[in-house]
């Protein structure tokens, strides 16, 4: 049984004995003892003073005395400070806990069974006309981390992606490619498919703007010019043909999307993310239309004289929302309704989490109401995991389009910087091959990027600073990775099994050792908290605190040079456990840790 649980049991029994009243579990409040007092676990005594009819510190004293008598092997001392009973837990208990942590590779994680709630997490969800950018990087990292966190909290998790693969945006790229592409392919151009298509999207835009300018100079007003420009009209015609299943248009569309997907896959792989099931808008938007018509039949929506279909959300304090245009075509919202329908057919979803930027807050507020009205049981409580913008400091890595930072460029730059920065360190590693050095640079560069983005509250806008992120000191991924690598190097030098014998349970631990073990135990609470609040940054901050405390410990105590073999075993076990928890914690964030660095 856990130390806290044993104390809770004992306190309940003691209060009943002393004051003759039953006590509910939640009345027994245990906290970590504040640093300025002796002890590790503190019982809040105030809830019991009404029953004891004594002053808080007299009550604390009374309970403390009995607790010590009842749990002599657990509690080695106590002190009462006003209504707080600070308990000193004996070393043997901490060593037992340490052993439990170190021998349980899944420490801190809840088991997942076939009965566990099914949580679907949608993230990434790109459009197929452009490569992924810095905003997608934040999205992908958050989505992946959140999926790991939810799984570690005992949920069945399905990671999903909705690719917006149809619409006017993709027709623009297609048209530009037909006009100016000369049959160029990823192979002939040497460009990644998503970049190739993105370049044609940019080309479309450039020519289109010229056409608009031309028309305006001929006296047309700008709004009209934007509608009348030959290029945009052609793109619309193409979209109509696409909807009509025109074989040529469909073939081109299929080809170009395939190039894009191959490009996306490379980026996803570099970011270390993946999906269990990918949905495509082209396969869901008609379902959405059907579902809206079904809702219309049930009187949930209404049709205007021009034939368009609307949802009236004014009773919810929102406005009226278009669901089908007068020509019967669907809008963004319609697609999301269709996607929801297919997803629920495929999986018995208990909870749905959408990882989408905060510029779509309103969209998801509306979607939640619509899905609820349409009878999706998870609609009302759907979670829009809404995150803020991320930018680079001015002047850093402006992409070819001049405004957005390309995901592939960013990944490459991070790995290159890590290689340069760690060159002296890594090259000193004995017998290291070029390939190993490159792999370490990849792990460190990606670790820097991921940690920097994930350590901040997702809701906040942020500035990603590459130099700061890759610093080997401070609250960074590489700092944590370095501590991990150092622990592994200690364990390699030891090169022996760590076994605690009888004597270990009789050694007295130093305060710092105890607090480090208690910190390790705190991993469990950090994982729970991250799951409850949908907040991966809890894990990042926990890892940083743990690593700082371990480094203090390593500075103050000898491990390999310790002469007392029992003490040495305990410290090695502490080191191994810290390494394991770092690896698991960083793993929840999608961050790898190197064995050497």
Positions touching ligand ARG (CB under 6 A) are 122, 125-127, 162, 164, 336, 354, 356
CA separation, residue 214 to residues 202, 208, 228 (Å): 19, 10, 11
Residues 43 and 11 sit within 8 Å (Cβ to Cβ): yes
Q: Residue 420 and residue 478: Cα distance in Å, rounded?
A: 14
> Which residue, 232 or 337, is less far from ligand ARG as judged by CB?
337
Q: How far apart are CA 364 and CA 362, in angstroms?
A: 5
Q: Which of 33, 335 has the CB closer to ligand ARG?
A: 335
- Minimal CB distance residue for ligand ARG: 125
Q: CA-CA distance, 482 to 428, in Å (whole number)?
A: 15
Of 335 and 476, the one with the shorter C-beta distance to ligand ARG is 335
Q: How far is the CB of 340 from ligand ARG (least distance, A)?
A: 8
As measured in angstroms, the least distance from the Cβ of 338 to ligand ARG is 11
Write a three-state SS string for 237-277: HHHHHHHCCCHHHHHHHHHHHHHHHHHHHHHHHHHCCCCCE
Distance between CA 408 and CA 263 in Å, rounded? 10
Q: How far is the CB of 165 from ligand ARG (least distance, A)?
A: 10
Rounded CA gap, 353 and 415, in Å?
31
Strands 84-89 and 75-81: antiparallel
Q: How many Å apart are CA 432 and CA 97, to the nearest integer?
A: 37
Residue 209 Cβ vs ligand ARG, minimum distance, rounded to whole Å: 22
State the nearest-atom distance from the C-beta of 357 to ligand ARG, in Å: 8
Terminal Cα distance for the chain, rounded:
39
CB of 24 to ligand ARG, least distance (A): 43
Nearest approach in angstroms of CB 552 to ligand ARG is 44
With 0-12 / 13-18 / 19 or more C-beta atoms within 10 angstroms meaning exposed / middle / buried, residue 41 is buried
3-state secondary structure 444-498: HHHHHHHHHHHCCCCCCCEECCHHHHCCCCCCCHHHHHHHHHHHHHHHHHHCCCC
Q: Which two tokens stand for residue 472?
A: 């080997």
> In whole angstroms, what is the distance from residue 343 CA to residue 320 CA?
26
Distance of closest approach, residue 326 Cβ to ligand ARG, in angstroms: 23
Closer of 56 and 379 to ligand ARG (Cβ): 379
Minimum Å gap between C-beta 139 and ligand ARG is 9
Burial of 336 (0-12, 13-18, 19+ CB in 10 A): buried
Specify the residue, 127 or 329, whose C-beta has the smaller distance to ligand ARG. 127
| Nearest residue to 160 via CA among 276, 282, 332, 285 | 276
User: Closest distance between ligand ARG and the C-beta of residue 354, in Å?
Assistant: 6
The residues with which 280 forms a beta bridge, in sequence order, are 163
Beta carbons within 8 Å of 377's beta carbon, 6+ residues apart: none
Looking at the Cβ atoms of 193 and 466, the one nearer to ligand ARG is: 193
- We find the least distance from the C-beta atom of residue 127 to ligand ARG, in angstroms, to be 5
Closest to ligand ARG by CB, 356 vs 530, is 356
Q: Which string of b and e fits 347-382 if b means at least 16 CB within 10 Å? A: bebebbbbbbbbeeeebbebbbbbbebbebebbeeb
Closer to ligand ARG at the Cβ: 127 or 399? Answer: 127
Paired residues of 352 in beta bridges: 120
Q: Which is nearer to ligand ARG, 121 or 229 (CB)?
A: 121
Least distance from ligand ARG to the Cβ atom of residue 540, Å = 25
Q: Decide whether 62 or 336 has the Cβ nearer to ligand ARG.
A: 336
Give the Cα separation of 252 and 246 in Å (integer). 10
Distance in Å, CB of 536 to ligand ARG, minimum: 19
Report the b/e string of 172-183 with b at 16+ CB within 10 A. Answer: bbbbbbeeebee
Judged by beta carbon, residue 155 or residue 164, the one nearer ligand ARG is 164
Nearer to ligand ARG, 140 or 488 (CB): 140
Longest Cα separation, the chain:
96
Q: Which residue, 336 or 592, is less far from ligand ARG as judged by CB?
A: 336
Helix-strand-coil percent breakdown of the chain, rounded to 5? 60, 10, 30
Looking at the Cβ atoms of 356 and 366, the one nearer to ligand ARG is 356
Q: Report, in Å, the least distance between residue 399 CB and ligand ARG.
A: 17
Give the integer Cα–Cα distance in Å for 60 and 62: 5
């Amino acid at each position: 049984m856990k130390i806290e649980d044993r104390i809770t049991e004992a306190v309940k029994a003691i209060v009943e004995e002393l004051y003759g009243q039953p006590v509910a579990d939640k009345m027994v409040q245990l906290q970590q003892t504040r640093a300025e007092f002796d002890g590790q676990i503190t019982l809040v005594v105030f809830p019991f003073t009404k029953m004891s009819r004594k002053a808080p510190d007299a009550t604390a004293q009374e309970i403390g005395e009995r607790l010590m008598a009842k749990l002599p092997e657990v509690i080695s001392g106590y002190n009462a400070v006003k209504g707080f009973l600070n308990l000193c837990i004996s070393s043997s208990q901490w060593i037992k806990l340490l052993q439990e942590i170190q021998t349980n590779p899944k420490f801190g994680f809840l088991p997942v069974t076939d009965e566990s709630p099914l949580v679907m997490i949608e993230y990434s969800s790109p459009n197929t006309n452009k490569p992924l950018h810095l905003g997608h990087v934040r999205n992908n990292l958050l989505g992946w981390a959140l999926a790991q966190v939810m799984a570690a909290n005992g949920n069945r998790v399905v990671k999903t992606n909705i690719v917006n693969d149809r619409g006017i945006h993709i027709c623009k790229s297609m048209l530009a490619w037909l006009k100016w592409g000369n049959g160029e392919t990823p192979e002939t151009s040497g460009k990644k498919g998503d970049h190739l298509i993105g370049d044609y999207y940019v080309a479309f835009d450039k020519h289109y703007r010229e056409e608009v300018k031309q028309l305006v100079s001929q006296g047309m007003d700008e709004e009209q010019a934007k509608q009348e420009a030959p290029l945009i009209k052609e793109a619309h015609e193409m979209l109509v043909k696409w909807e009509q299943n025109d074989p040529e248009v469909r073939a081109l569309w299929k080809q170009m999307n395939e190039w894009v997907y191959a490009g996306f896959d490379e980026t996803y792989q570099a970011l270390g993310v993946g999906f269990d099931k990918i949905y495509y808008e082209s396969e869901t938007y008609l379902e959405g239309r059907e579902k809206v018509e079904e809702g219309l039949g049930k009187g949930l929506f209404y049709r205007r004289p021009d034939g368009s279909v609307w949802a009236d959300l004014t009773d919810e304090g929102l406005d009226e929302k278009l669901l089908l245009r007068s020509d019967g075509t669907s809008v963004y919202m319609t697609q999301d309704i269709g996607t929801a329908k297919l997803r629920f057919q495929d999986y018995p979803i208990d909870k749905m989490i959408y990882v989408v930027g905060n510029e779509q807050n309103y969209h998801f507020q509306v979607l939640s109401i619509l899905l609820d009205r349409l009878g999706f049981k998870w609609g009302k409580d759907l979670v829009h995991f809404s995150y803020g913008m991320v930018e680079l400091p001015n002047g850093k890595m402006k992409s070819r389009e001049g405004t957005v930072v390309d995901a592939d460029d960013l990944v490459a730059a991070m790995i290159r910087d890590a290689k340069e920065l760690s060159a002296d360190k890594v090259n000193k590693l004995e017998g290291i091959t070029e390939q190993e050095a490159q792999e370490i640079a990849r792990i460190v560069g990606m670790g820097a990027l991921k940690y920097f983005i994930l350590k901040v509250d997702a809701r906040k806008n942020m500035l990603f600073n590459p130099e700061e992120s890759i610093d080997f000191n401070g609250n960074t991924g590489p700092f944590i990775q370095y501590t991990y690598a150092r622990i592994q190097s200690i364990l390699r030098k030891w090169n022996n099994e760590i076994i605690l014998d009888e004597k270990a349970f009789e050694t007295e631990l130093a305060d710092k050792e105890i607090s480090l073990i208690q910190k390790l135990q705190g991993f469990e609470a950090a994982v729970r908290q991250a799951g409850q609040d949908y907040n991966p940054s809890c894990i990042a901050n926990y890892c940083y605190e743990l690593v700082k405390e371990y480094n203090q410990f390593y500075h103050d105590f000898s491990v390999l040079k310790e002469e007392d073999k029992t003490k040495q075993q305990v410290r090695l076990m502490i080191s191994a456990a810290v390494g394991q928890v770092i690896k698991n914690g960083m793993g929840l964030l999608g961050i790898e840790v190197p064995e050497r660095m």
